[in-house]
Structure 1
Amino acid sequence: MDAAMDDAPILFFDSGVGGLSVVAPTRVLLPRAPIVYAADSAGFPYGIKSEAEIAARVPALLGRLVERYRPRLVVIACNTASTIALPVVRAALDVPVVGTVPAIKPAAALSRSRVIGVLGTEATVRQAYVDDLAARFAGDCTVLRHGSAELVRLAEAKLAGATTDPARYRAVLGGLFDQPEGARIDVIVNACTHFPLVAAELAAAAPAGVHFVDGGPGIARRIAFLTEGQGWPAGESVHRAVFTRLGDAERALAPALADYGIGTIEGL
């Protein structure tokens, strides 16, 4: 890449702030990479939308974002958007696109009871893509699923500085543990990028010995592989967040974004 391309950012896209759980491990591996974090706040949350809405909305938005920011790589840091719109986005854009998929393979490798929980949004857990992952990588496991819009709201509230009630996390996890064979779950897949943001709260609400896994570190390794050998800015990189609706709620996220090195906030 020439000197001008050294400044080309990595674009992370999510409906809200969940994709920060992918930004964090990426910054560890690529500390000089400039980042644009795009949140579709006007369309949030994705998990309760129809497949048709997401399949139409995500490629159109990413087209606008790519035109504005000219990234070297796009990361759809959202399980719901990835499981529904990833093929269409890849066909529409002329830059590499990395998606996010539920970490069922590492969960199966870790499980001893052979009962795994998949915790995601309603839209993600009902996808045939999840059926395929379970069949390919966890064929000898019982894979239980639960979709929770509540947990997405809790993660957003936490990052906005609100105090959240531990009972709400216990209620969400009850959607898994109260199913037949749910008491045997020993590994839970956080199949929404929002959920690692409340990892401590989930761990405190879960029975002892239950492990949580997510795809963030694996996605970061994939990004590092795809950008290997490329140039980065010589000085300190500028990281920015862009929202499709920029109001008081989005501005309230500024301290949390700053914790991830993102100091500039703007609207699309």
Structure 2
Amino acid sequence: MADQRPVLFFDSGVGGLSVLAPARALLPRMPILYVADSAGFPYGTRSEAEIAARVPALLGRLAERYRPRLIVIACNTASTIALPAVRAALDVGVVGTVPAIKPAAEASATRVIGVLGTEATVRQPYVDDLTRRFAADCTVLRHGSAELVALAEARLRGEEAPPARFAAILAGLFDQPGGAAIDTIVNACTHFPLVEAELAAAAPQSVRFVDGGPGIARRIAHLTQGTEWPEAAPPGVAVFTGAADRRLAPALARYGLASIETL
């Protein structure tokens, strides 16, 4: 029989849609449940202790309620802080999202890479470890921006922002010593690919943007290999842990999420 259990995508807000999109393209019959922890949003300005306590507990409740086939933590901040604890606590498979430093290093010609994430992500030892393992011969510059998360959320609501705001955020990378040589930027927050076009237009030079979405999609396909999905995927559901912003409904529908619920 077809496996009707959904793959649960989890983020603090709508950033995880940038991971959901390539996964849906690769597995179009996959049942989808998208959960935005709007009651805890934003994660990037919270302490490590808050995230480490909140995320495993919340995902435990969600796993018990929705019985997912697989959980995808489509959030760099939650993954770099809480992924081991979530995996230890749950009996369901869990896929995390971490900064795409390895493919960025492989792509960079100048060997100078920017990592653009939330404040919480860019300061994590996990990023230090990825840099040592995969970009030891590169200069890796980091910048954290809570404003860019808000701009991405606003973009999904249909709101425009002046290019100067994106340029000012990118200046946090390019104005650092050596920043003029950056040729590759890691979008180390899943919100940021949602405004990649705006970032590219505001950049002072031509740069390549890299994120983990395609790699995560391939990982989901590998872990669910052999699954007999329904002939046609049921309409996806978006669940918000707090108040749901109905202005997001048109954007959510474009990602296959036909209905909105509140936990």
Q: Does 1:230 align with 2:198?
A: no
State the partner residue of 2:258: 263
1:212 aligns with 2:209: yes
Q: Find the residue that maps to 2:50 and give its secondary structure.
A: helix
Corresponding position of 2:199: 202
Q: Note the alpha carbon deviations across 1:191-228, whole angstroms, 9 max, x for none.
A: 00000000100110113321100000000000000000
| Structure 1 match to 2:172 | 175
> Is the CA contact (8 Å cut-off) linking 1:13 and 1:37 kept in structure 2?
yes
Distance 1:182 1:236 in 2: 45
Gaps of 5+ in 2: none
Residue 252 of structure 1 deviates from its aligned partner by: 1.1
CA distance, structure 1, for counterparts of residue 210 and residue 28 of structure 2: 24
Is 1:188 aligned to 2:198, yes or no?
Answer: no
1:253 aligned residue (229, 232, 248): 248
Give the drift of 1:15: 0.1
Asked whether the 8 Å contact 2:200–2:206 carries over to 1, the reply is no
Say which of 145, 149, 152 aligns to 2:149.
Answer: 152
CA contact (8 A) 2:28 2:233 kept: no
Q: Does 1:119 align with 2:135?
A: no
Q: Which amino acid aligns with 2:66?
A: Y
Query: 1:130 matched to which residue of 2?
Result: 127
Match of 2:55 in 1: 58
Question: Which runs of structure 2 are paired with 1:103-114 in the superposition (5 Å)?
Answer: 103-114=100-111
Contact map agreement 1:38 1:242 (CA 8 A) in 2: yes
Structure 1 stretches lacking a partner, 5+ long: none
CA separation in 2, counterparts of 1:45 and 1:106? Answer: 27
| Residue in structure 1 matched with residue 136 of structure 2 by the alignment | 139
User: Secondary structure of the residue that 1:253 maps to in structure 2?
Assistant: helix
Letter paired with 2:95? V
Aligned amino acid, residue 229 of structure 2: W
Task: Return structure 1 stretches of 4+ with deviation > 4 angstroms.
Answer: none
Q: CA deviation at 1:251?
A: 1.3
SS in 1 for 2:161: coil
Structure 1 CA distance, aligned partners of 2:234 and 2:28?
Answer: 9
Contact 1:246/1:266 (CA < 8 Å) preserved in 2?
no
Give, in whole Å, the separation in 2 of the partners of 1:28 and 1:70: 23
Partner in structure 1 of residue 94 of structure 2: 97
| Equivalent in the alignment of 1:22 | 19
Structure 2-normalised TM-score? 0.98
Q: Does the Cα contact within 8 Å between 1:118 and 1:188 map onto a contact in 2?
A: yes
**Taking every aligned residue pair, what percent have the same amino acid on both sides?**
76
| SS state at 2:185 partner | strand
3-state DSSP of counterpart to 1:256: helix
RMSD (Å), alpha carbons: 0.8
SS of alignment partner, residue 263 of structure 1: strand
Q: Give the paired residue count.
A: 263
What is the rounded CA distance, in whole Å, between the counterparts of 2:42 and 2:217 in structure 1? 24
Normalised by the size of structure 1, how large is the TM-score?
0.97
Quote how far apart the aligned CAs of 1:236 are.
3.6
* From 37, 45, 65, the counterpart of 1:48: 45
Structure 1 residue 70: Cα displacement: 0.6
Task: Look up the match of 1:12.
Answer: 9
Matched, 1:88 2:85: yes
Q: How far apart, in 1, do the equivalents of 2:40 and 2:68 lie?
A: 22
